[in-house]
Amino acid sequence: MPPDHRPQQPLGYIAHLVLFVACVVFPAALTMIAPVCTVDLERQGEQVTASVAWNCFFVIPFHRRVIADVTTVDDHVIAGELAQQTSRGIGDSVSEFTTESQGFFVIHGKTGEIKVPVSPENLSDTRQKASEFLKTKNGAPSLHFRTVANWKFGVVAGGILTLFTVVYLWTAIAWCFRRGKPQPQQKPWQQKP
């Protein structure tokens, strides 16, 4: 058979599936669990409308909420708890650690509220920026900012894993384009018997 018409081996499909899960599905799940959110506050006369998008891979929205007639903004922190981890083996040991705190930027409107995950370190700055926008009646017509739920998992780990996604997709697209082109003729000494 000519080399460009060889049948695919089942192991090749399994390898692609494993690579797809490791390089695309896992990074997507991680960046959805600890998302980067886009918050837009728009002023129309006396009324402010808030639009929040939860992003996968930092820029692809997977969930969006809009609340009209924003009245106030607030924040909420769930403090980390003390937890224990037991390691089994020759001489069991118990270690204690504190889970990470979670912060939420809360946008209140007349019809409900939106809780946006924000790292506790950035929570006061985010609330202050939005509060100043709401208090200034004749200020800027809109305010646009991004929030990070967790810097370690969402940005650092998610950013590294997103690089794997980019490399995987780039390689897959290049492979598809290369597969459609005619392959160069092999020399007689390069052909397998």
pLDDT digits (tens, 9 = 90+) for 136-184: 877 789 999 999 999 988 899 999 999 999 999 998 888 777 766 665 6
60 within domain boundaries: no
Dihedrals phi, psi of 26, to nearest 5 degrees: -60, -50
Contact, 69 vs 109, CB < 8 A?
yes
pLDDT at 143: 95
The answer to whether residue 129 sits within a structural domain is yes
Residue 94 lies in a domain: yes
Tell me: the pLDDT tens digits for 13-33? 888 889 999 999 999 999 999
Return the pLDDT at 138: 79
Tokens found for residue 96: 């204690």
- Is pLDDT at 100 greater than 50 in this prediction? yes
Q: Which of 4-13, 52-61, 107-116, 118-127 has the lowest mean pLDDT?
A: 4-13
Tell me the residue range of the domain where 126 lies: 43-50+66-141
C-beta neighbour count of 75 within 10 angstroms: 18
Please check whether residue 113 lies inside any domain of the structure. Answer: yes
7 inside domain: no
Burial-class residue 19 by CB neighbours within 10 Å (0-12, 13-18, 19+). middle
- Structure confidence at residue 92 (pLDDT): 72
pLDDT of 181 reads 63
Prediction pTM value:
0.75
DSSP output for 44-85: ETTEEEEEEEEEETTTEEEEEEEESSEEEEEEEEE---EEEE
How many domains does the chain divide into?
Answer: 1
Residue 127: inside a domain, yes or no? yes
Confidence of residue 38 (pLDDT cuts 50, 70, 90): very high
Centre a 10 Å sphere on the Cβ of residue 159 and count the other Cβ atoms it contains.
13
**Does some domain include residue 3?**
no
CB-based contact 142:41 (threshold 8 Å): yes
If one counts every other C-beta atom within 10 angstroms of the C-beta of residue 57, the result is 20
- The tokens of 36 are what? 């980067």
- Could you give the percent of the chain with pLDDT greater than 90? 55
| Spatial strand order in the sheet of 60-67 | 60-67, 47-56, 36-44, 142-148
Token reading at 160: 């590294």
CA-based radius of gyration for the chain: 25
Helix, strand or coil, per DSSP, at residue 189:
coil
- Whether the CB-CB separation of 115 and 75 falls below 8 Å is answered with no
Count of helices and strands (H, E) across the chain: 4, 9
**pLDDT score at 174:** 85
Q: What is the pLDDT of residue 184?
A: 62
Residue 90's Cβ-count burial label (10 Å; 0-12, 13-18, 19+) is: exposed
Q: Does a structural domain hold residue 24?
A: no
pLDDT computed for residue 49 by the predictor: 94
